[in-house]
Every structure is written in C-alpha cells, then in structure tokens.
Amino acid sequence: MNSRRRYWWIAVMLGLILGQFAWSQSSSGQTSAQTLRAAAGSFLIGSAADSDFWNFSDAAQYEAILGGQFNIYTPGNQLKWDAVHPQRTSYNFTPVDRHIQIAKSYGQQIHGHTLLWHQQNPGWVANQTWTASELTNILYDHIDTVVGRYKNDIAIWDVANEVFDDSGVYRRSFWYNTIGQSYVELAFKRARQVDSDVVLIYNDYNIEEINAKSNAVYAMAKDFLARGIPIDGIGFQMHLLGSGINYNSFAQNMQRFADLGLKIYVTEADVRLQLPATSASLAQQATVYQNVLDRCLRQPACQAFQFWGFSDKYSWVPSTFPGYGAALIYDEQYNPKPAYTAIYNRLLQGRSTTPTPTPNATSTPTAQPTNTPTASATPTQAAPQPKLILSAPSQVTLGQVFTLTIQYVNIGLQYTTVTSSPAGLVQLDPPLSMPCKYNQHPTQCKNITFKATALGTVQLNASATGEVPIAGGGWTWGGALAQNPVSVTIVNSTPTPTNTPTPTPSPTPTSNACSVHYTIASQWNTGFIGNVIVTNTSNTPINGWALNWNFAGNQQIINGWNSSLTQTGNAVVAGNLSWNSVIAPQGSASFGFQASYSGANAVPASFILNGVACSIVP
C-alpha cells in the first residue's frame, strides 16, 4: 500500500468535514444527510464527472452530489488523449487539475480514464502514419507525462480501454495496426515503471458475463500474469439494458478473475431504459442495480461500484441510443430514483452474504444458485456488518439547536458515546453530560440534540459497543463498527432557509388514488430490508402523504430512509419528508426501512394513503 492509500482514511475524514453534507440540498432545498458513501463505509462507490461541470448553470448542485455522495471520482472525458494531449508537444492539464482538486477536497480517491483507447484520440496521433517505434515512443511520452504528473493523486488507472471487439478479437485500431497487440502490455509495463504502486486495470464493456469477449480478456490477463506483465485488476464497465444480465454468469466471471489474484471494479455502470420510463421500469432498473452491486459486494475481490455519471440530466445514453435514457440513479431534477434507494439499501448491508433479491429476467437464466463462495462461509453464514450512520445538518446558526441522528444497523443493545471535536463548540441540549451515554436503550440515543455555542466547524463522532450479529445467526458482544463522522459548521448568520413550505398533509383523497408496491429487498434470519413504492394513480398531485399499514407478524422497524416512520405495536405510519411531499399524478415516492422479525415475514395485507385504501401491485 502506498502512502496515498495509507492516508486515504484521513483524506476521507477531511472530505467529510469539507463537503459531505453540502450535497444534500435536494431540489426542494431540504437538507438530508443520507449519503451513499456513508452507507458504503470502506467500499468504493463512485461516479464519473462531466467535462467542465463547474460551468454548468447548476454546478453547485451537481458538485454537492458528486462530492457528497461518492468516495471515488473519475474524470469522464478530460483524461482522454484528445482532451489532455491535443498536440504532440503540448498537454492540457488545466481541467484535469481542477477535477483532481475538487475530488481531493471531498476526500475522494481518483480513477484515471484512460491511457489507451481507439476513440477520442487527437488527429495528430490517429491520422498519421507512424513506425511502430515512433508510435511506441509517443505512447511512452504520454504515459510518462500523464501518469507521472498525477502520481500522487490518481490511485487507479484504466491503462487500456476496449481493446477487444465483441467476438474477442483485438480491434484493428491504429495502435494495433502500427505496433501489434503488444501495445497493450507495453502500456501496462510503462505505467508500472512510472508509478510503482498505482492500481493498473484493463477496462471494457460486455465482459460482465462469461462470453467470447471476457474469455479473451481472461486469456490476456492470465498470459500477462504468467509473463510478469503488471496488471492489477479488471474494470467491468456495466453499461446495461433494463433487462439486466445473467448474475450467476457475472459472479462466476468475477470469480475466475479473482482466482488469478486480480481486483475487480465496476467502472461505468448505467442501466438504460426505454423512454418514457415508467414506475415499473424504474423499479426493474433498481433491481438490476441492486443485483449487480450485490454480486460485487459478495465477491471479496470487487473493490468499487462506479456509475457513469449520476443524473439523467447529464448522461451519454440518450444521444447514443435514441429512445433510451433514464439510466442513472438521480432524475433530471436531481431527485434520487428507486435505483438510488436500492443501491443505498444494499450498501448498508456491506459485504454480507445474506440472501439477495430475486434476480430479474436475465439473458440466460440458470437454475443454479449464485456460485460465489468465500473461503470460509456459505452465503447464509456470514455475519451482517454492524454500522453506525450519523446525520446532522451541515450548517447551523450560532445558538441554534440541531439534531444528530444515529441509525444503528445490525447492532443490538448498545452503549453509545458521542464526542465532538474540537470540544466547546456545541453542548447537549437539554444539557446532559457530554458524551451522551445510554445502556440498553438504543432508541434513546438515536436522536441527540445539540446547541451551537461557538463559531467554527465541529465534527461529531459516535462509537458504540453492543451486540453484533454472528455468522449463521445470533448475537455476540463487541465487534468493529463502521461509522461516518459528520461535521457541522456553525455560522453567525441565518443559513439560507429551505424554500420548501411545510406540506399540508391530507389532501382530499379520491378513491383508488394510489397503488403500493411493497417488496422485501433482502432478508436474513433475524431481519430484512423492506422497500415501498407509493404511486399516485389519480390525476391530481398528492401534496403531503401518510401511508398506514399493519404488520401481520412481529416485524419491528429499526430504521428507515426517505420517509419518517413511526411504529406503534404493529401499526406503522410512513410520512413524507419535505423533499418528497408532492407525488405528481402517475408519479411515485419510494422509501425503505430495515426491520427485525421472527417466524414468517408476511407482507402487509393493505395500505392506506391519506385515509384511502391503495391497490397493491405485486
């Protein structure tokens, strides 16, 4: 491990302080602290960044999500040859430097894309005739200059991109035609010479399943390793259709690369849908994303899950595949889509090998269960990962009382300690002693109220000891807890008020105005993740909503997201948050929760939205 990775956690902490929660102004202005990176812990969750996004009219909103939600960042286009090396003797580093400075300010790792590709090359290199040695020297100069310049910044390089065609044959690119197939290994060797500990990967699309193309990549990687050519990993781009992939084949494919000792990265995920997207196709998309992430998390070699952008407003899909789009996890107004929730939920479970959602239709379904064994555990034996998820407003005014919310995931009775650093900027309100400690009353420590008493930025940390799940079921005392500290900046003036008026609940309902799709996204022997999609099937907007249902068994909600959940006995009320208070005609709101249960985990029999029964969508 090099120093950049040894100190990565320090950088992450810094990034959290600087920007994690700046993102969370949703389109409605509501501050929310749910982030994918917090849910991901040490797993890498990332996005590509658009060219010069800082000039977008909505640059602040874009950057807030890019910096706040993700912990790894890929400049999407501006490290390609045409952008960074426009003339033989001149490089354009200005935009790349800016990407890097932004990513670092959020404590993010940086993924370099790409040192070799058959597309997006400047005319000076692609349209001239070179000898093999001339073109090799040009390639070396490029790698020396670009990898060298970002040696301390870029952690992972896509050394070669899309070298094979779909039949597994080397593309007849100008690189291949001039140098021969050795151009690929020359690039890997040169990159290693320049940066001895950067992760060097091969990146391609349509290699997720076992097929002719992935066989060719596998043969190349095996050959490289046998001959001492440095290669550290494989990037599965994961540009998918809404029908998904064969997840068993994906898992087996990852396993064979892992067996070679290679790391695996999902590098450019998007799931394109036929337009207009429907609530059904968006739900299907969420399932595809969740299944891919699930297989990745269950494969120890899989290091990262990166999207090719995050908002449907800026995606390569619609212009490349007319009639298709809506491929990412936020819509064009930066609202999180069901896919966001699905990803978030699955991240929360960590590398747990608990049962996964039923795979959706795949290209070649097989009857066999997924074959991704870990060395010591069968899929039902691994312990769910205990985690603390902290959230607080990113900015408060001096004297303001604010709430730190702690979600406990896979933690039993706990003893919680909250510390603030530096001390003295906040005090508990009403005043208890600091730190806050409770024993055997976890819910009492879920929301802790503080008062801002001095100007500055304070970081709140929580640690908990308690019962954590053990492999195969049951609980034991202790265990490591992943957590995300949060930082709160105390300012002298009133923060920009959210411009969302408090919604007025209970609009006049009309009968059969809603439908509910309730799914158990995953389930293990003591708990489960539930997802709920509420659709407004009427022709008028719903302004403020409360969804009631009764659990049929002893299900008990532990925590939730995207709605305010209260449970009394077996009766549950899920209320809107301000950012999702309005459900447009034919629109949907999605929320989810984690709950415990024992015995049967029956699905609720009915749902009532604002006093009116909804139809149930299976």
- Of these, 87, 119, 182, 540, which contacts ligand 9MR (CB under 6 A)? 119
Say whether residue 391 binds ligand 9MR (CB under 6 A): no
- Of these, 87, 94, 101, 120, which contacts ligand 9MR (CB under 6 A)? 120
Total binding residues toward ligand 9MR, as defined by CB under 6 A: 9
Cα–Cα dist 592/342, whole Å: 9
Cα–Cα dist 42/39, whole Å: 9
Q: Which of residues 148-167 bind ligand 9MR (CB under 6 A)?
A: 161
Residue number, 237 or 535, with CB nearest to ligand 9MR: 237
Beta strands in 12-150 (DSSP E): 44-49, 72-75, 109-113
Please give the DSSP secondary-structure letter assigned to residue 31.
B
Say whether residue 242 binds ligand 9MR (CB under 6 A): no
Give least dist CB 361 to ligand 9MR, A.
Answer: 24
- Of these, 41, 46, 76, 442, which contacts ligand 9MR (CB under 6 A)? 76
Q: For the chain, give the number of residues.
A: 618
Say whether residue 121 binds ligand 9MR (CB under 6 A): no
- Of these, 237, 352, 483, 537, which contacts ligand 9MR (CB under 6 A)? 237
Say whether residue 316 binds ligand 9MR (CB under 6 A): yes
Which residue type does 159 have?
A: V
Q: Find the residue with minimal CB distance to ligand 9MR.
A: 316
Cα–Cα dist 577/571, whole Å: 19
Residue number, 76 or 442, with CB nearest to ligand 9MR: 76
Give least dist CB 463 to ligand 9MR, A.
Answer: 41
Q: Which of residues 38-57 bind ligand 9MR (CB under 6 A)?
A: none
What does each C-alpha distance from 524 to 355, 554, 597 come to in angstroms? Answer: 6, 15, 10
Which residue type does 255 have?
A: Q
Closest listed residue to residue 46, CA positions, set 155, 122, 160: 155
Give least dist CB 462 to ligand 9MR, A.
Answer: 39
Give least dist CB 202 to ligand 9MR, A.
Answer: 13
What does each C-alpha distance from 574 to 296, 343, 562, 611 come to in angstroms? Answer: 31, 21, 9, 13
Which residue type does 4 have?
A: R
Report residue 374 as tokens: 């870990």
Residue number, 275 or 546, with CB nearest to ligand 9MR: 275
> Helix, strand, or coil here: 515?
strand
Please give the DSSP secondary-structure letter assigned to residue 122.
-
Q: Which of residues 425-484 bind ligand 9MR (CB under 6 A)?
A: none
CA angle 533, 536, 542 (to 5 degrees): 115
Catalytic residues: 162, 268
Give least dist CB 310 to ligand 9MR, A.
Answer: 13
Q: Are 595 and 407 in contact (CB under 8 A)?
A: no
Give least dist CB 322 to ligand 9MR, A.
Answer: 15
Cα–Cα dist 302/271, whole Å: 19
Residue number, 56 or 205, with CB nearest to ligand 9MR: 205
CA 392 to mean position of chain CA atoms: 20
Site residues (vs ligand 9MR, CB under 6 A) = 76-77, 119-120, 161, 205, 237, 268, 316
